[in-house]
Structure 1
Amino acid sequence: MGEKTEKLLSILTLQPVVPVLIVDDVKSAVLLARALVAGGLKAIEITMRTSAALDAVRAVADEVEGAEVGAGTILNAAHWDAAIAAGSRFIVSPGATQELLDAARSSSVPLLPGAATASEVMALREEGYQVLKFFPAEQAGGAAYLKALSSPFAGTVFCPTGGISLKNAMDYLSLPNVICVGGSWVAPKELIAAGDWAGITKLASEAAALKG
């Protein structure tokens, strides 16, 4: 697990904020990813919540220089295989099942599994995971809850996602057990619809400048 943990850390430490994207068409995904990379956000998570998602992962992996694209909302082994085939450099899941962990075990691509309770953290630690997604962050107890986990789970670091914005990102990034945060605010639907890629690059630059 050590080599995959290092690979995941090398991606998540590229920036303080990982954009979490829901994309509806491939063309805009490529332009969006280029705008985010231009602003300093190279690691990008495309969630498998639309019919265009897999093609978007493939296009960003093939066409966007500097991007480290991952697939999110991976729920089972079939999702895993499809996301890997599309070119995902990392995989993100909202939780963890034995089926998903088994798929991850036999792959060289790292998994960022989700956890929201102490028991879930313990179970994933037993599987060898040191880097976890804390989801849904705000709804599950927020920065105060995550801070409380830092002492009993020393050595485990988190990427909190869910309800995080520019306003509260620093509440998380200032914690010793947070490596980065996931957020969708850097790619607002209205800017994507308007094709305002410069506006998205500006938001990405602001996010990239956040310091923990």
Structure 2
Amino acid sequence: MGISLSAQTAYFLWSLVLGAALGVLYDVIRAARMVLRAGKIHVLISDIVFFAVCGVITSLFSLPFNKGDVRAFILFGEAVGFLAYRLTLGSVMGKVYAFSAKKIRSFVQKIRKILQIFFNYLLKSIAYLLYNVGVIIDKLHRYAAEKKQNHRAERSKRQRRRYNKDKYHEQKRNKKTAYRVKAKTRQRRRAAERG
């Protein structure tokens, strides 16, 4: 059982509207390309994505109306709607997009210059800060190395003093011990002489 003529006419009219909507979508993509100054590869990729989206939308459009069957009159209606939009409102919108793209590009250039000046200043400030931090760290490192060297020298002096002190006390002890030994030896001699 086929679709009635009135239903086909309604589907065709809806496909005209869908084609015009796809034209609006294409204009949005075209405006983005104008603003971004897309190259050939970007244009190719955006066109492939656009046609893939069109295919998905057409399939989804056909589901409720035609139970998923894509009919030639629906594709024809979309093409006519797309071309009607492109030749009427699309051409006017193209001029508006071109004018807007120039204004947007000039605005973006101004913002870019301002941001570039800001980031240059910021980077110079950070570089200056890091340089000063590096100088401070270097000074601290030198101070710590000098302190360590002074500590080693001081420790060495203390060790020498301690060694000399110990040596002095040892010599003193040795003298006392030698004196005691001599004293005992004298006492023994005296005791031997007496006895």
TM-score band, normalised by shorter chain: under 0.3
TM-score normalised to structure 1 length? 0.22
Q: Which has the higher strand share?
A: 1
- Identify the structure with bigger relative contact order (alpha carbons < 8 Å, sequence gap 6+): 2
TM-score normalised to structure 2 length? 0.24
Structure with max Cα Rg: 2
